[in-house]
Amino acid sequence: MIFNVYKQKGETPLECIQRFIKENPSLKKEKMTYLGRLDPLAEGVLLVGSGEDTTQSRREEFFGLDKEYDFVSLFGFTTDTYDILGKIIKVKKIKNLSENEVRKVAMIYKGKRKQKYPPYSSKVISNNNKKAVPLRLSKEKGEKRTLGASQDSLRFFEEKSNEWTDPVRRGGEVKKIIIYKIQFHKLDSLNTKELFGRLLMDISKVKGDFRQHEILTLWKKILFKDSQEQFFLGRFSAYVSSGTYIRSLVNDIGKTLGCGATILSIKRNKVGDYKIEDSIK
């Protein structure tokens, strides 16, 4: 059976399934898995399969569905994860940004193209031996580190499935994608206190070890170091093929604009024919 579940901001897909089962005790003994992935800070449609719909063939079928998103970019910053839950690696002050310029650049990315995976992204690996696998593997400075996984979540997944979705560092790999439609809606702006308040609120929702304290400390240091009066946000929507990373799309748009950009928020509105208005909240 397929469930169209609303993944809340801050949850991992695994935590979303755990919450869904807790709210629906009759499913406690069912084998369940998510049929697609969403970053912790993303929200919206997450398809969850149970019983016969947890097989690899069914998973691949649903992984291959097209998707629709609304998303907000933060201009002037580049991070190592391409979203606000990453280390800031480049900052550029922006005095003025034209909506027409952003719209023209966004349209460059419409159509068939090759897209690089974000430095941290997901892949499914075998877990037939019931061996716990880290959710994130950081190879920076020779460091091996488990990010985002609690022992409870490790045990849960060992019991419920023979596969693991493992977000690892794999920047540079390329995949063919199609951006059927991309639309830039408008620019907004926030002052320093407003932006940091938004970052604090959203990042604090994420559980597990995603470097939250380290990341928030870095954001605070950079934002309050200089007296930049406003920070620009871009509001977009897109209809894309399976395998498209919105984080990478925004990072590419920022590069083309020459100012950098990272994801502030993502909402997935549709997966195939499954719509957000029908999601179980």
**Tokens in use for 75?**
């201009």
* 50, 87 contact by CB (below 8 A): no
Tell me how long the chain is: 281
The pLDDT value recorded for residue 170 is 52
Per-domain boundaries in the chain: 67-118+174-273
Instruction: State mean pLDDT over 49-72.
Output: 94
3-state secondary structure the chain: CEEEEEECCCCCHHHHHHHHHHHCHHHCCCCEEECCCCCCCEEEEEEEEEHHHHCHHHHHHHHCCCEEEEEEEEECEEECCCECCCCEEEECCCCCCCHHHHHHHHHHCCEEEEEECCCEECCEEECCCCCCCCCCECCHHHCCCECCCCHHHHHHHHHHCCEEECCEECCCCEEEEEEEEEEEEEEEEECHHHHHHHHHHHHCCCCCCCCHHHHHHHHHHHHHHCCCCCEEEEEEEEEECCCCCHHHHHHHHHHHHCCCEEEEEEEEEEECCEEHHHCEC
- Give the pLDDT band of residue 227 (cuts 50, 70, 90): low
Q: Which of 5, 35, 20, 39 is nearest to 206 (CA)?
A: 39
Q: Is the dihedral of CA 139, 155, 85, 248 positive or negative?
A: positive
Beta bridge partners of 261: 75
- Give the pLDDT band of residue 236 (cuts 50, 70, 90): very high
Q: Lowest-confidence range among 92-101, 151-160, 165-174, 235-244?
A: 151-160
Q: Which residues of 106-141 are buried (b: 16+ CB within 10 A; e: fewer)?
A: beebeeebebbbbbbbbeeeebeeeeebbbbbbeee
Cα–Cα distance list, 275 to 44, 73, 80, 182 (Å)? 9, 23, 31, 18
Statement: residue 38 has pLDDT above 80: yes
Statement: residue 142 has pLDDT above 50: no
Statement: residue 146 has pLDDT above 60: no
Residue in the structure block whose two tokens are 């061996």: 131
pLDDT per residue as tens digits for the range 156-165: 333 344 333 4
* 47, 62 contact by CB (below 8 A): yes
The pLDDT value recorded for residue 78 is 97
The pLDDT value recorded for residue 119 is 82
Mean predicted lDDT score pLDDT of the chain: 85
Q: Lowest-confidence range among 56-60, 92-96, 225-229?
A: 225-229
**141 Rama class: left (phi>0) / alpha (psi -120 to 50) / beta:** left
| Alpha-carbon span 253 to 82, nearest angstrom | 11
Count Cα atoms within 13 angstroms, Cβ side, for 269. Answer: 10
The pLDDT value recorded for residue 130 is 37
Instruction: State mean pLDDT over 62-78.
Output: 97
What is the rounded (10 degree) CA torsion for 61, 66, 70, 75? Answer: 100
For 67-118+174-273, which CATH superfamily applies? Pseudouridine synthase (3.30.2350.10)
- Give the pLDDT band of residue 204 (cuts 50, 70, 90): very high
- Give the pLDDT band of residue 120 (cuts 50, 70, 90): confident
